[in-house]
Amino acid sequence: MSFKRFLGAVGILFAVLHFSCSKEKAGHSDAMDHASDEWSYAGETSPEHWAELEKNSDCLGKRQSPVNIIDLNVVEKAGDTAHNTLFYSPKTILTRVRNNGHTIQFDFDRGDSICSRDVHYDLVQIHFHTPSEHTVNGIRYPIEIHLVHQSKEKDRFMVLAIFGIEGRESETLERLESFLPLKEGEEKVINKALDLTTIFPNNKDYYSYSGSLTTPPCTENVDWIIFKEPSILSLEEVIRMRDNMPLRNFRNEQDLNDRVVSLYRNPHGFPRN
């Protein structure tokens, strides 16, 4: 059963804002690694027990992720007031894919990147949660894609989150899933170029807030960009990805506390170079 394309074409350059970032050559480094034998999504090692298992973690912190985004409470930023420039190329190298027991993770060589407030972040990996971790007005989507970017100094992350809804087949997801199935602990070396410029939804409006990693050690050093409009993918693609991961590999939403979720409008889309 198949339907409309995963996403509309987007420009290589994603520009939105007051601050101008020039693309830097940052050294590649591994982002947080989901792999660990100490925690899981079920039983005595489920998210409710992560703080006990990870004694020096931030899992009981006040700025945790994911959260439930309530549109009534978000602060809308008028005009093009965002502050990000996204550089995505058709030639970025997918180095390997692995099943780390918590998710399917695709690792990338340096190439695609984002610059925010003059801080440069390199894309290091993409992974998946089924169903979604973030919710919007209490609604949980069938899947959430996390594009994890790490700063050159390796002290902060920026994660772009894309919800998925069932509809038409996604060409991008089909390409990623062509490297599956993978058993737990198994990995494949790929070293092939992968075009991620079409992975974003047609409407580029997004939510933004400061939070944490959604897996131990739950470090509170993450700036989140969550696209408001979900992307389209087929039911078969959701099922195929889900069948390669633990059942319901998501953390429940955390208290927002004193944080504010902002909504950035991008009515003109992302221009090409």
169's tokens: 């087949």
The catalytic residue among 34, 102, 120, 127 is 102
115's tokens: 């610059």
User: At 81, phi and psi to the nearest 5?
Assistant: -105, 10
DSSP classification of residue 253: P
3-state secondary structure of 183: coil
What residue spans of 38-131 are helical by DSSP H?
Answer: 50-53
E strands, the chain, in order? 13-17, 68-69, 75-77, 83-87, 93-99, 104-108, 113-116, 119-129, 135-136, 139-140, 143-151, 157-166, 187-193, 206-211, 222-227, 231-233, 262-264
Cβ burial 115-143 (10 Å sphere, 16+ → b, else e): bbeebbbbbbbbbbbbbbbbbbeeebbbb
Say how far apart CA 62 and CA 171 lie, in whole Å: 39
Give the max Cα distance, the chain: 51
DSSP classification of residue 237: H
147's tokens: 């594009």
Strand-pairing partners, residue 76, are 263
Q: Is 268 a catalytic residue?
A: no
Enzyme catalytic residues: 102
